[in-house]
Structure 1
Amino acid sequence: MQIELAAADGHRLSAWRTGPEDASRALVVVQEIFGVNHHMRHVCEGFAKEGFAVVCPALFDRAEPGVELGYGPEDVQQGRALRGRIDPACTLLDVEAAALGLPQHARLGIIGYCWGGTVAWHGATRSQRFAAAVGYYGGGIAAARDEKPRCPVQLHFGAEDHGIPLSDVDAIRAAQPGVEVFVYPGAGHGFACEERASYNPAATQEALQRTLPFLKKHLG
């Protein structure tokens, strides 16, 4: 269901909330550059079925409320433009607001995709709210690879991701030997999104089979 959150600086944003109210594990799910669209709600419902309480904050609300994009070239261009208008520090405030929108008795994790993959990394290194973090194909992680995670982190990348060269992945591994980093042969950017041309079902399933046990282990 749609809810409203309040960030620490007074900004109000919408979010998608699902999953059991009495869950012992909770997740902030962080969007791609396409808004909290059909795919992101689908991702949220998948985690809800696994017993997680979930909140997915609408990060684009800082620039333009109510944005839900598709996956065509114009959508990509619009999504990148919107992301460029938002201060990463404000994004972190919105993620922390989402954490407060989850059951406070639950152990909290964060997972993100694309832009959200980078935000999830920031959640691990710049916030103290999360007990585990997972990032899928976060293009900005390499630039922040020297930041120290405050919780266990697992990262997923596609070997054929033209936006994230394998040299970036190698740099992340070298800087963060304690972080789990997985690369999927034949997979490109956005491989876990069933609505994108780059969707790779085998890589998605393999990544999920790593993601769920990781989250359940660290979120108790």
Structure 2
Amino acid sequence: MATTIQLTAGNDQLSAYLATPEGTPKGGLVIVQEIFGVNAHIRDVADRYAREGWLAIAPALFDPIQPGVELDYTADGLAEGLDFVGKLGFERPLAAIAAAAREIAHAGKVGVVGYCWGGSLAYLAAIKLGLPAVSYYGGRNTLFTDQVAKAPLMFHYGEHDAHISAADREQVRKANPDAPVYVYDADHGFNCDRRGSYDAAAAKLAQERTLAFFSQHLGA
């Protein structure tokens, strides 16, 4: 079952997509969007985790600027998403992630999984909020490698990602020696089946590893 709820994060009001599993949840997961908004893909991701037994919430991080943003996977959509990201910075989205985590805390321990821009926010959530996190191809991860995470981390990257170099991946690896860093024979956005870069094999393997990570660190 899925519904849309409202969250308050500081002075910001935003909606969130909440996917509820059947039976007692294993715990909670905050799903952090790409720069394209809480679109059909991100809702599908939340639904997928709910089917695996997690209470999953995807806060609409662009809502404080413009409610209901769902952008196309095009050059225009990319440019518009980057504009939203630049206006928001990091602190406001992080506050929204914290609010989403509080909303689902009744389900048990809470983790974060994010994609693209959301992958970097997931990394930041492990640093600032102490939440176990999985980062999928976070292009801004290197901004945070001078900070120490307070919770376990896992990273997924595509080897052929033109936005993230091998040197970037190595920088993240060195900063997080205890965190698994997986590199797939894939491109940026390989988890999204609505993008041309989708890679089913890489997405499946990364999902299996992610589920195992949360089962281990959230005690489910």
TM-score (norm 1): 0.95
* Contact map agreement 2:115 2:137 (CA 8 A) in 1: yes
The aligned counterpart of 2:216 is: 217
* Contact map agreement 2:28 2:107 (CA 8 A) in 1: no
Aligned residue pairs total 216
The Cα of 1:177 is off from its aligned counterpart by 0.7
SS at match of 1:104: helix
Tell me, which stretches of 5 or more residues in structure 2 are unaligned?
none
The Cα of 1:104 is off from its aligned counterpart by 2.3
Give the AA of the match of 1:71: Y
Indicate yes or no: 2:13 matched with 1:12.
Answer: yes
- The separation in 2 between residues aligned to 1:147 and 1:88, in whole angstroms, is 15
Give the AA of the match of 1:97: A
> Aligned-pair RMSD on alpha carbons?
1.1
Question: What pairs up with 1:73-152 in 2 under 5 angstroms?
Answer: 73-128=75-130, 130=131, 132-152=132-152
Percent of pairs with identical residues = 40
* Contact map agreement 1:30 1:116 (CA 8 A) in 2: yes
| Superposed CA offset, 1:143-189 (max 9, x none) | 2112111111000000000000111001111121111100002x111
Give the AA of the match of 2:55: A
TM-score (norm 2): 0.95
The Cα of 1:105 is off from its aligned counterpart by 4.6
Question: What pairs up with 1:187-198 in 2 under 5 angstroms?
Answer: 187-198=186-197
- The separation in 2 between residues aligned to 1:196 and 1:180, in whole angstroms, is 26
Give the AA of the match of 2:17: W
Indicate yes or no: 2:64 matched with 1:65.
Answer: no
The Cα of 1:90 is off from its aligned counterpart by 0.9
Give the AA of the match of 1:15: A
* Contact map agreement 1:146 1:176 (CA 8 A) in 2: no
- The separation in 2 between residues aligned to 1:97 and 1:104, in whole angstroms, is 13
- The separation in 1 between residues aligned to 2:96 and 2:86, in whole angstroms, is 16
Indicate yes or no: 2:169 matched with 1:169.
Answer: yes
The aligned counterpart of 2:202 is: 203
SS at match of 1:56: strand
Indicate yes or no: 2:177 matched with 1:158.
Answer: no
Tell me, which stretches of 5 or more residues in structure 1 are unaligned?
none
Give the AA of the match of 1:68: E
* Contact map agreement 1:53 1:103 (CA 8 A) in 2: no
- The separation in 2 between residues aligned to 1:70 and 1:207, in whole angstroms, is 24
- The separation in 2 between residues aligned to 1:13 and 1:64, in whole angstroms, is 10
Give the AA of the match of 2:216: K
